[in-house]
């Protein structure tokens, strides 16, 4: 068990332990809330077509069909991305016993990029074949991957874990590397063909499954 | 009591049980949050009419009257749908003692379709007489019904329930079947007359009440 | 202490009490979440003016000034309304020991009208001098008042309270009556002058304070 | 320990203490939820450019570049502002043992200005060089600073703190003063040059760090 020093400007008293436990609960609550709300806001990136009543029977089917090849699959992709990052964040926080200022700051930066995700999602849903747009989406995911790993390293460095736990086991580390690599690779590939980038993203699903089966 | 095997890559230690309990709480929190936010976002499907100030006294009453026959009842319909699915999800989760990866994945897919609901709601509020739109709404509800049942079956199969509980009693199963059947039936009926589909949906309210009174 | 009968289709077992406690917590969570999100969505009823960059220095001050006499005070009014109803709902739920189906249903209907509030808020912010718009806003508040009282009566009738508590004491009842009366009165008054209606609404603040000081 | 008087219109009974604890939890929940949702709604202040499909390859890069110098940095600024106020609110509430009506009212007013923040954020993202817009943003932050201090003073005055705690230690007071001063100063400076105001805001980050290192 690592030694822990808590600086305090207040007299030591009974509710201290309680308070510290409640604070980690509130950080957890903030993180969970933010993931949940971001996932729910994704639906706003699907735009209901604006067609005059009279023209609706003729033009609506094509306009809706267009959504099913663009904004709707992008919605599910981003929902899946948020869910995966939520699960990994959740896995890490299940091992955390306490928080400190630097850990909380990295966590907030990570959450700022989670909460940003509806923007590249809407961009991708509308302009899915533009390499720049594909790159912005991929860059957001690479940044999320790197910040989550940074968070895990910080938990280990500052001894914030429950005794006997590690922040990242080998499977998690490999999984994180595979995702960061494939998303990183998808950035230059978007300029060859945006579909190649998306193939990389789908590849990351299988890479994760493969690592999970093989190493954990 | 069914045998339970928990695979773990971490040394067994005191906070383990605590951690597992907290994880189910977080899954519960994510699910509840998502239902709540989706219910609250439904109000964005009601569009305040855009009328120039000078014309407002003349044109506003008709424009608002129009909302009362389209977007406002659709809002209440979808609020009721989310509430019913929340109650059924809540009933199931009250019996769950632990979660595993597959159960969590089905739950996330179910939640992705809950969180999608503001989109077909907005579509239905604006183009309520188009059969295609009625079908998209009904299809979303059929998918929700099927995924919730899949979730209950998985809870039973993987022994995730509190000892002595079943995931679905006879009344729940009948209720689920009645809803899936009536919403499934409403899909082809939309092409005869969209109001026939909506009659099916209202029928599902009475079917549920009837089953509840008769069998539980 | 009133006799309580709980119908159950499941064998009686240890986690039952726990489950029931958790269910009331989840209803509480759903209600609180909905109030919070509705309060936060109110900000979307303030529309940032759309002015071309070049014309902004000249036209922006007037457009923003316009917001300060319309959409911004309406935002604060509705935030205050949601806060007051949240406090009263909270007061009632602090006395509730258990829930049943009818109580949960009335609660959901009440919440559907809480969650609707951003719509009349946006309407009022944009067309604040139209009597019809003032009436829709006031009607939403009258309905909320009546449903909250209905909820309190149901808690009493079905013996859902903690032993020794009443759902509504005399001060609460008088306060509820005063608010419902003043908001009800504001509906016909809007056709004389919309500002008379708003005077009634402000009057309700003072009526509530007066009742609180005098009777509790 | 200060003397505490709780007025009650209900007979004193066992669940009272429980109820009071739960009520503070619900106020905490409302506050946290509101901070989280406001942070997440900030992303809606980034507007995806509306460009016809055919013109997208030519015009999209410039339109997106424009976002990276306006709406995107404003999003991160406001996310950081909400996070800082959340941390300070959280620090205060970790020391609070109970709540009363006046404290709850000031808290709600504070939260109304937190929840308003997406509006000045959107305004600043679109018209960042207009002095009036810069002033509205800065004014919102000055009001938040003053209300948070008012809240701390009230907690002290009404003896709402855990025994042995103070609401504001010297570092917190200095930090609060520095932020209020720099944001207050930025209001007249916007009329000289909007970039001077923003320099003041960035200065507040360093002022806070300096105070934290020096005095706590």
B37 touches chain A (CB under 8 A): yes
Reported as a pLDDT band with limits 50, 70 and 90, residue C64 is very high
Q: Percent of chain C beyond pLDDT 70? A: 89
Assembly ipTM: 0.84
Looking at residue C159, its pLDDT comes to 86
Q: Which of D44, D46, D94 sits opposite A22 (nearest CB)?
A: D94
Looking at residue A16, its pLDDT comes to 45
Looking at residue B6, its pLDDT comes to 36
The mean per-residue pLDDT over the stretch D163-179 comes to 80
Looking at residue A20, its pLDDT comes to 53
Q: Which of D9, D30, D136 sits opposite C86 (nearest CB)?
A: D30
Residue with tokens 């979440």: C33
Q: Identify whether the C-beta of residue D169 lies closer than 8 Å to the C-beta of residue D211.
A: no
The span from the CA of B170 to the CA of C10, in Å, is 11
A37 touches chain D (CB under 8 A): yes
| Partners of chain B (3+ Cβ pairs below 8 A) | A, C
**Which of A153-157, B170-174, D79-83, D180-184 is predicted with the least confidence, judged by mean pLDDT?**
B170-174
Q: Which of residues 123-142 of C touch B (CB under 8 A)?
A: 123, 126-127, 130, 132-133, 136
B100 touches chain A (CB under 8 A): no
**Which of B185-199, C130-144, D161-175 is predicted with the least confidence, judged by mean pLDDT?**
D161-175
Which tens digit of pLDDT belongs to each residue from C72-123?
999 999 999 999 898 888 888 888 888 887 888 899 999 999 999 999 999 9
Looking at residue A177, its pLDDT comes to 84
Highest mean pLDDT, choosing among A156-160, D69-73, D160-164: D69-73
What DSSP state is assigned to residue A167? S
Which tens digit of pLDDT belongs to each residue from B78-127?
999 999 898 888 888 888 888 887 888 899 999 999 999 999 999 999 99
Residue/partner pairs of C202-210 with CB below 8 Å, 24 or more apart: C204/C178, C204/C179, C207/C175, C207/C178, C207/C179, C207/C182, C208/C84, C208/C175, C208/C178, C208/C179
Contacts of D83 in chain A (CB under 8 A): 108, 112
Nearest chain B CA: its distance from A166 CA (Å): 8
Reported as a pLDDT band with limits 50, 70 and 90, residue A6 is very low
Q: Which of A7, A30, A133 sits opposite D32 (nearest CB)?
A: A30
B40 touches chain C (CB under 8 A): yes
pLDDT over 60 (residue A19): no
The mean per-residue pLDDT over the stretch A79-100 comes to 87
Q: Identify whether the C-beta of residue D46 lies closer than 8 Å to the C-beta of residue A119.
A: yes
pLDDT over 80 (residue D54): yes
Largest CA distance in chain A: 74
Nearest chain A CA: its distance from D14 CA (Å): 22
Name which residue leads in pLDDT, A102 or A116.
A116
Cα torsion D35, D40, D42, D48 to 10°: value is: -170
Looking at residue C43, its pLDDT comes to 95
Nearest chain C CA: its distance from B113 CA (Å): 19
- Taken in order D202, D207, D213, D216, the sign of the CA dihedral is negative
- Inspect the interface and report whether the beta carbons of B132 and A60 lie closer than 8 Å: yes
- Inspect the interface and report whether the beta carbons of B166 and C112 lie closer than 8 Å: no
Contacts of C165 in chain D (CB under 8 A): 10-11, 13
Question: How many Cβ contacts (< 8 angstroms) between chains A and B?
Answer: 90
pLDDT over 60 (residue B192): yes
In the predicted model, what is the mean pLDDT of chain D? 83
pLDDT over 90 (residue D117): yes
Residue of D nearest to A114 (CA): D40
pLDDT over 50 (residue B10): no
The mean per-residue pLDDT over the stretch D30-52 comes to 92
Residue of B nearest to C108 (CA): B83
D48 touches chain A (CB under 8 A): yes
Phi and psi at residue D47, to the nearest 5°: -95, 120
Among B86, B91, B94, most C C-beta atoms within 10 A, so best to mutate, is B94
Contacts of B22 in chain A (CB under 8 A): 94
Reported as a pLDDT band with limits 50, 70 and 90, residue B1 is very low
In the predicted model, what is the mean pLDDT of chain C? 83
- Inspect the interface and report whether the beta carbons of D95 and A19 lie closer than 8 Å: yes
Looking at residue C204, its pLDDT comes to 84
D30 touches chain A (CB under 8 A): no
**Which of B106-120, C147-161, D11-25, D32-46 is predicted with the least confidence, judged by mean pLDDT?**
D11-25
Looking at residue A78, its pLDDT comes to 94
- Inspect the interface and report whether the beta carbons of B26 and A97 lie closer than 8 Å: no
Residues 6+ apart with CB under 8 A from A104: A27, D87
The span from the CA of A162 to the CA of A179, in Å, is 27
Name which residue leads in pLDDT, C63 or D5.
C63
pLDDT over 70 (residue C10): no
Q: Which of A34, A38, A132 sits opposite D64 (nearest CB)?
A: A132
């Amino acid at each position: 068990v690592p030694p822990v020093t808590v600086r305090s400007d207040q007299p030591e008293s009974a509710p201290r332990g309680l308070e510290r436990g409640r604070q980690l609960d509130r950080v957890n609550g903030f993180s969970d809330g933010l993931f949940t709300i971001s996932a729910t806001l994704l639906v706003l990136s699907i735009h209901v077509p604006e067609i005059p009543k009279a023209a609706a029977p003729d033009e609506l089917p094509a306009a809706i069909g267009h959504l099913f090849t663009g904004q709707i699959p992008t919605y599910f992709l981003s929902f899946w991305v948020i869910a995966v990052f939520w699960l990994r964040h959740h896995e890490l926080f299940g091992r955390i016993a306490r928080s400190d200022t630097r850990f909380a700051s990295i966590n907030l930066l990570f959450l700022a990029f989670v909460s940003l995700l509806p923007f590249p999602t809407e961009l991708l849903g509308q302009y899915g074949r533009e390499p720049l747009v594909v790159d912005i989406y991929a860059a957001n995911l690479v940044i999320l991957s790197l910040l989550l790993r940074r968070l895990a390293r910080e938990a280990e460095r500052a001894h914030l874990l429950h005794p006997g736990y590690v922040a990242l086991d080998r499977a998690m580390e490999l999984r994180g590397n595979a995702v960061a690599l494939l998303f990183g690779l998808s950035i230059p590939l978007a300029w060859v063909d945006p579909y190649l980038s998306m193939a990389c993203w789908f590849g990351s699903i299988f890479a994760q499954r493969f690592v999970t089966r093989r190493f954990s």
